[in-house]
Amino acid sequence: MCLAIPAQVVATLGDGLARVDISGVRRDVSIAFTPDAQAGDWVLVHVGFALARIDEEEARATLDLLAEAIAAELAPDPSEASDTVLLGGSGARA
């Protein structure tokens, strides 16, 4: 499975490159596939290439979904909850 991440173009650098911001991390990527991308535009980035321009609403919705997926992945699994029960605050275990 491939995943492209929304990024906002911070600056075009020449030679088919642009600096993008991906959730606070800045990287230089190729804009060979999106040569009309300009500072302020949103693009989908996969393995160092901006593959397509997208609108800000789509970018934010995708970033929100990714954040939800990461939070769900990092959440404790309730099926692995400890069956240790503290009784009466004494620290005794059942």
What pLDDT is attached to residue 20?
Answer: 98
pLDDT digits (tens, 9 = 90+) for 4-42: 999 999 999 999 999 999 989 999 999 999 999 999 999
Please state, in angstroms and as integers, the Cα–Cα distance from residue 79 to each residue in 75, 83, 84, 86, following that order. 12, 10, 14, 19
- How many Å apart are CA 5 and CA 13, to the nearest integer? 20
Contact between 13 and 23 under an 8 Å Cβ cutoff? The reply is no
- State pTM to two decimals: 0.74
Residue range 5-75 in CATH 3.40.50.620: no
The ranges assigned to domains in the chain are 5-75
User: What is the per-residue pLDDT across 42-61, written as a single tens digit (0 to 9) for each?
Assistant: 999 999 999 999 999 999 99
**Predicted confidence band of residue 86 (pLDDT cuts 50, 70, 90):** low
Read off the pLDDT of residues 70-85 as tens digits, 9 standing for 90 and up: 898 888 777 766 555 5
How far is it, in rounded angstroms, from Cα 24 to Cα 20? 9
